[in-house]
Structure 1
Amino acid sequence: MAAQNNTKKIKKSAASGNSFINFFIDLKAEVKRITWASKENVKKATATVLIFCLIYVVIVGLLDVGFKNLFSVIFK
């Protein structure tokens, strides 16, 4: 029984030689259904990410300088 089901699946996939073309047709249909963010939302999200990255860089930089000075005091 299981062997028959597998042969049917193999025959079906082998018979659909246009699967490569169908992939791109389906891809085009899916892209049309995407709900894109507005320009305003993209600008706000980009600014938020950049500000977060800047804050993160400053915090890591301060920790780096602090630990560098701490190690120089300890190992002097």
Structure 2
Amino acid sequence: MIDTNDIYAVPLDNVLWHKSSYTANNSNCVEVAAVPGVPALAIRDSKNPEIPALRSGAGQVRSFLSALAADALVEA
């Protein structure tokens, strides 16, 4: 498992942010970027990029997206 300190220690000043291809021009969306040197992803709100990005291990994000696509998320 990745240490949270490792994920958040890396600055995101020069990363390349990606928007979904389903996003229309000038639409607000979430953006995702690889965290340099760490197997992790950063996720941010495109309309508020100054707010710190959520960061998580790439495997955890993959599992979340798979569960989302399968409509397998369960309310606690």
Same fold? TM cut 0.5:
no
Which interval holds the TM-score relative to the shorter structure? under 0.3
> Which structure shows the higher strand fraction?
2
Alignment TM-score, normalising by the size of structure 2: 0.24
> Which structure shows the higher helix fraction?
1
Alignment TM-score, normalising by the size of structure 1: 0.24
The structure showing larger relative contact order (alpha-carbon pairs under 8 Å, at least 6 residues apart) is: 2
Rg larger for: 1
